[in-house]
Amino acid sequence: MSRIGVFVCHCGENISRTVDVEKVAAEAGRLFGVAYTCDYKYMCSDPGQNLLKKAVAEHKLEGIVVAACSPRMHEKTFRNAAKAAGVNPFLCEMANIREHCSWVHEDRDEATAKAIDIVTMMVERVKRNKKLQPITVPVTKKALIIGGGIAGIQSALDIADSGHQVVLVEREPSIGGHMAQLSETFPTLDCSQCIMTPKMVDVVNHPNITLHTYAEIEAVEGYIGNFQVKVRKKARSVDMAKCTGCGVCMAKCPQKKIPNSFDKNLGFRPAIYVPFPQAVPNTPVIDRENCTWFKTGKCGVCQKVCGPGAVDYTQEDEIVVEQVGAVVVATGFQLYDIGPKPAGSAIEGYGEFGYGTIPDVIDGLTFERLASASGPTGGKIVRPSDGAEPKSVVFVQCVGSRAREKGISYCSKICCMYTAKHTMLYKHKVHDGQAYVFFMDARTPGKGYDEFWRRSIEEEEAVYIRGMVSRLYQKGDKVVVMGSDVHIGVQVEIEADLVVLATAVQPREGADTLAQKLGISYDKYHFYSEAHAKLRPVECATAGIYLAGACQGPKDIPDTVSQASAAAAKVMTLFARNELEREPIVAKVNERFCVGCLACRKVCPYGAVEEKEIRDRSGNLIKVVAYVNPGVCGGCGTCQATCPSKSVELDGYTDEQIMAMIEAL
Amino acid sequence: MKHSKMTLSAETMNLGFVKKVEQLSGSSVRRCFQCGKCSAGCPMRSFMEHPPNRIVRLLQLGQFERVLAGRSIWYCASCETCTTRCPNKVDLAAIMDALRKLSWDAQGPSKESLVQLANRLFIDNIRTYGRQYEMRLAAVFNLKSGKLLKDFMLGPSLFTKGKLKVFHKKNRNIGEIERIFSRIEELRRKGEAT
């Protein structure tokens, strides 16, 4: 190939400020094999692309080097332009003289010299590029949703309503997540259960949704359009097909004093239980750790009283394999625990707040259960210590959040609003009570949010005090709150009956392990990372995996539902196609030289390498070689670097190309 | 008082007083979100130990004793810059008026402050002469405050410019002015005015 065009972009002034683009174009013109060069202010613009197309036609160009920004930015743009001009898109390459050159250097002469080097290398590479054809892979039109909170439910319903199959996997015995635990929701104060439970029922009744509750993801293999997912369905000890949900087993179970984690351990449940009365599915599970039968081998009451004979102590964990084309991760959040630092955790507890040992210091979710009509107190707000009605309640915001010392620097986003809501719920139930709120900032960006917060102060008479609380301690039956009003500059002390801490929102425990199974990235707090913070906020960098809800970052219900629907829309876009085109940058094995050591199989992170037997015409085995499944290969090049006989190479990045690029320097 | 610890409870927060201030001033106190714009533009800020925003903040916490203990409310010049510029429609000038009124009625801690003395003499003068009689105001103020020579050296220049008169004519309609004062007193007795 000897007719290459080099197109040098000014990127406004981003490149031309530091690099002499005209000189780069002139120098490139002297290279062997370059037939045409030019420079232009915005090569990616419509006139810029037309320049490229025109040059291809006029100068019969066979290869293209665009010296501009990173290939991550505009490779696709220029490859499409090349395709439109009749050149194989894989003969068009970007020489990155912006991120790798003009943005990081100050000296004009040196930067220009480097830009010329970069362009020279890319010209040598394009000379050796092959005309590649995109690989097509089929799409399994079935989606997996991990997590059955409001995010997972919304995604599942949207995808199922579009006519595609959905598998919803939930770790707990019932779907519903945190939203099912809430009393009322801001900023409209509508009852959470009332808007949530109909959606839960829709999920279980939807013909397109397969629901796996009390189940976890065991392993995920494959790639966009073709994932194989192993789901571990934990032994429920109750046959879901036979159980009618009558509840006799729960009523008769002699174990009645097991703290109910759904009620934040404020109430109790039996060993055979549904987490809450509106649970979906309404099938109990046996908590084997606390069940007398599983502990001592005696009892068996639930089995005796069960009319349909659904209780089955011999049930074992079951592995279900699902073939899906897309995955929506919606694993949600948990609240920061102020208790002592657990082993292996990077997050500190709060000694100054008593490490969670003061009984009347509770977190926001516990207050939700106290205020909820379906909660352990029937909606009556009482103190956990003695059951008395608290006449003064202190709310403390930013506990754990925005506390670098504790290991969390982010804002948890929902606390300002739910604390305002809590003050209102409290005032509505305890008319002569006084709510105090210690806050550092009030962050209320959202439709109707600031008005809601102001209402809690101006109409519901909550006293807001700007300043963080320094210490909490028990004094008699009161909790003393030591704070400060930074507006006045004086210390403030309140003897409270109840203290509610708005603790930080964290990703679910085990979020990192799940991410490793899925092959998606996460930040240092274990929140899952989106592909682009602004332009691809619901997609993972790993193709075919999407994010919804608080597993990606703290989020309130409206934002979670929006993101869940957005993720569903992305899945539907994927499912609208029967086949997917993949970049053909995949590894190929030279079977003549391969000795079949399969070192490549050991290092391949995608599991793309298989064994292949080569036989002669009469069927005798000649040798075993490695074979790279092009549908699975991620194009990372690890096999190429590993192969001892140099018999596997990545298209577009062959050893020959790399060596030629180095030699051109 | 200024730096001492504040203990908040239903007993220590006099929210009834706040309601009274809101009633008198016709302005919400709770509405203030402490942006500080009132203090930023207040021309008298440098004389006050509690800047205007802190006055409102103390009111929000029902700390009327701290508010009335200082002289800040008496330094307010009622220029209404705060009210004009408040982003949240808090009529701070009216709140200051109400606080001064309540301080006066409650025989507040600063009852005998010089500002109050000046205010009283000012009104007395109006009632007696129907207009302001500066010479008398200055003389009586200096006598009563005990600061006999206060601003004495301003006298000659004010005098030559005709701003001070030794003898003063009463307003022609002094009878009508007296009727205004009597009527206010009567309304106050009936509780119709504050």
pLDDT of B131 reads: 87
User: How far A465 CA lies from chain B's nearest CA (Å)?
Assistant: 9
CATH superfamily of B15-105: Alpha-helical ferredoxin (1.10.1060.10)
> Which of B2, B4, B9 has its CB closest to that of A392?
B9
Q: The CATH number of the domain where A114 resides is what?
A: 3.40.50
Which three-class secondary structure state does DSSP give residue A162? coil
Which ipTM was obtained for this model?
0.77
Interface probe, candidates B2, B3, B5, B8, chain A, greatest A C-beta count within 10 A: B8
Report chain B residues whose CB lies below 8 A from the CB of A427: none
Buried-state track A79-115, b at ≥16 Cβ within 10 A, e below 16: bebbeebebbbbbbbbbbbbeebbbebeeeeebbbbb
Where are chain B's structural domains? 15-105, 114-190
Do the domain assignments include residue A201? yes
- State both tokens at A210: 């397969």
CB distance A391 to B10 below 8 Å:
yes
Counting other chains too, the contacts that A524-533 makes at CB distance below 8 Å and 24 or more residues apart are A525/A408, A525/A410, A527/A551, A527/A552, A527/A553, A528/A329, A528/A552
Tokens of A254: 């002699």
| Sign of CA pseudo-dihedral B68, B70, B75, B80 | negative
Would you say residue A521 lies in a domain? no
Enumerate the H helices of A238-296 as residue ranges.
Answer: 248-252, 292-296
Q: Which of A545, A575, A605 is the last residue of a domain?
A: A575
- What is the pLDDT of chain B when averaged over all its residues? 87
Q: Which residues of B touch A492 (CB under 8 A)?
A: 5-8
Answer whether residue B109 shows pLDDT above 70. no
Q: Is the pLDDT of residue B114 over 80?
A: no
Whether A489 and chain B come into contact, CB under 8 Å, resolves to: yes
Strands A498-503 and A361-363 come out as: parallel
In this prediction, residue A553 carries a pLDDT of: 97
Residues A491, A623 within the same domain:
no
A359 in a domain, yes or no?
yes
Instruction: Please check whether residues A33 and A103 belong to one and the same domain.
Output: yes
- Asked if B5 lies within 8 A of A491 by C-beta distance, the reply is yes
Report the chain A residue with the minimal C-alpha distance to residue B30: A458
How many whole angstroms from its chain centre is CA A260?
Answer: 28
Where chain A has pLDDT below 50, the residues are none
Boundaries of domain holding A286: 142-325+559-575
Q: Which residues contact A525 (CB under 8 A, 6 or more apart)?
A: A408, A410, A506, A507
Helix (H) or strand (E) holding A79: helix A71-84
Six token digits for residue A172: 């707990």
**Residue A526 included in any domain:** no
| A283 lies in the same domain as A163 | yes
CB pairs under 8 A between A and B: 55
pLDDT at B110: 55
User: Do residues A111 and A58 both lie within one domain?
Assistant: yes
Tell me the per-residue pLDDT of A152-181, one tens digit each, with 9 for 90 and over.
999 999 999 999 999 999 999 999 999 999
Count of domains observed in chain A: 4
Residues of B in contact with A436 (CB under 8 A): 8
Output B163 or B193, whichever has higher pLDDT: B163
User: A483 pairs with which residues across the strands?
Assistant: A492
Res B132: pLDDT:
86
Nearest CA in chain B to A451: B31
DSSP B171: P
Tell me whether residues A454 and B54 touch, CB distance under 8 A.
no
A positions 136-175 inside 8 Å of B (CB)? none
Q: Which residues of B touch A488 (CB under 8 A)?
A: 6, 54, 57-58, 61
Least CB–CB distance from B34: residue in A454, A458, A466: A466
Residue ranges of B 81-120 with Cβ closer than 8 A to chain A? none
Give contacts of A490 with chain B, Cβ < 8 Å: 2-6
**Interface test mutation site (partner A, options B61, B65, B66, max chain A beta carbons within 10 A):** B61
* Beta partners for residue A539, in sequence order: A546
State the pLDDT at residue B108: 54
In a shared domain, residues A479 and A395: yes
Burial degree of A550 (CB within 10 A; 0-12, 13-18, 19+): buried
Last residue of a domain, one of A506, A532, A548: A506
- Torsional class of A150: left (φ above 0), alpha (ψ -120 to 50), beta (otherwise): alpha
CA closest to B58 among chain A residues: A488
**Chain A residues 419-458 with CB within 8 Å of chain B:** 434, 436, 454, 457-458
Q: Is A391 on the interface with B (CB under 8 A)?
A: yes
**Beta carbons within 8 Å of A303's beta carbon, 6+ residues apart:** A309, A311, A313
Name the token pair of B78.
Answer: 């009622």
A425 and A358 in a common domain: yes
Q: Which residues of A touch B4 (CB under 8 A)?
A: 490
- What pLDDT is attached to residue B168? 77
**Chain B contacts of A494, Cβ < 8 Å?**
7-9
Task: Tell me whether residue A559 is exposed, middle or buried, using C-beta atoms within 10 angstroms of its C-beta: 0 to 12, 13 to 18, 19 or more.
Answer: middle
SS (H, E, C) A479-505: EEEEEEECCCCEEEEEEECEEEEEECE
Nearest to A409 by CA among A356, A478, A309, A336: A336
Q: How many residues appear in chain B?
A: 194
Nearest-CA distance A361 → chain B (Å): 18
CA of A427 to nearest chain B CA: how many angstroms apart? 14
Q: What is the mean pLDDT of residues B2-14?
A: 85
Cα torsion angle, A260, A263, A268, A271, sign: negative
The answer, yes or no, to whether residue B112 has pLDDT greater than 70, is no
User: A617: domain CATH number?
Assistant: 3.30.70.20
pLDDT band at B115 (very low <50, low <70, confident <90, very high): confident
Q: Are residues A566 and A613 in the same domain?
A: no
Contact yes or no for A53/A27 (Cβ under 8 A) = no
CA-nearest residue to B28 within chain A is A458
Q: Do A485 and B61 touch (CB under 8 A)?
A: yes
* Shortest Cα distance, chain A CAs vs residue B34, angstroms: 8
Neighboring chain A residues of B70 at a CB cutoff of 8 Å: none
Percentage of chain B with pLDDT > 90? 44
pLDDT score, position A137:
86
Q: Is B53 on the interface with A (CB under 8 A)?
A: yes
Q: Are residues A288 and A346 in the same domain?
A: no
> Between chains, do A490 and B9 touch, taking CB under 8 Å as contact?
no
A636 and A563 fall within a common domain: no
Q: Is residue A370 part of a domain?
A: yes
Do the Cβ atoms of B54 and A487 come within 8 Å?
Answer: yes
Residue B107 pLDDT: 61
The minimal CB distance from A490 to the residues B3, B53, B60 is found for B3
CB–CB contact B5 A487 (8 Å): no
Same domain, A300 and A424: no
Confidence of residue B15 (pLDDT cuts 50, 70, 90): confident
Question: Is A494 touching B (CB cutoff 8 A)?
Answer: yes
A493 and A432 in one domain? Answer: yes
Residue A115 lies in a domain: yes
Same domain (yes/no): A567, A596: no
